[in-house]
Amino acid sequence: EVQLLESGGGLVQPGGSLRLSCAASGFTFFNYAMTWVRQAPGKGLEWVSSISGSAASTYYGDSVKGRFTISRDNSKNTMYLQMDSLRVEDTAVYYCAKELTGPYVLIDLDSWGQGTLVTVSS
Partner 1 sequence: QSALTQPPSASGSPGQSVTISCTGSRSDVGGYNQVSWYQKHPGKAPKLMIYEVTKRPSGVPDRLSGSKSGNTASLTVSGLQAEDEADYYCISYAGSNSWMFGGGTKLTVL
Residues at the contact surface with partner 1, assessed by CB under 8 A:
37, 44-47, 50, 57, 59, 61-62, 95, 97, 100, 105-110, 112-115
Q: Which is closer to partner 1, CB of 16 or CB of 26?
A: 26
Q: How far is CA 44 from CA 33, 38, 56, 79, 86, in A?
A: 23, 8, 29, 23, 19
Backbone angles phi, psi at 21, to 5 degrees: -125, 150
Residue type, 121: S
Q: Which is closer to partner 1, CB of 17 or CB of 57?
A: 57
Cβ 111 to partner 1, closest distance in Å?
Answer: 9
Burial class (CB in 10 A: 0-12, 13-18, 19+), 13: exposed
Cβ 119 to partner 1, closest distance in Å?
Answer: 17
Q: Which is closer to partner 1, CB of 62 or CB of 122?
A: 62
Cβ 100 to partner 1, closest distance in Å?
Answer: 6
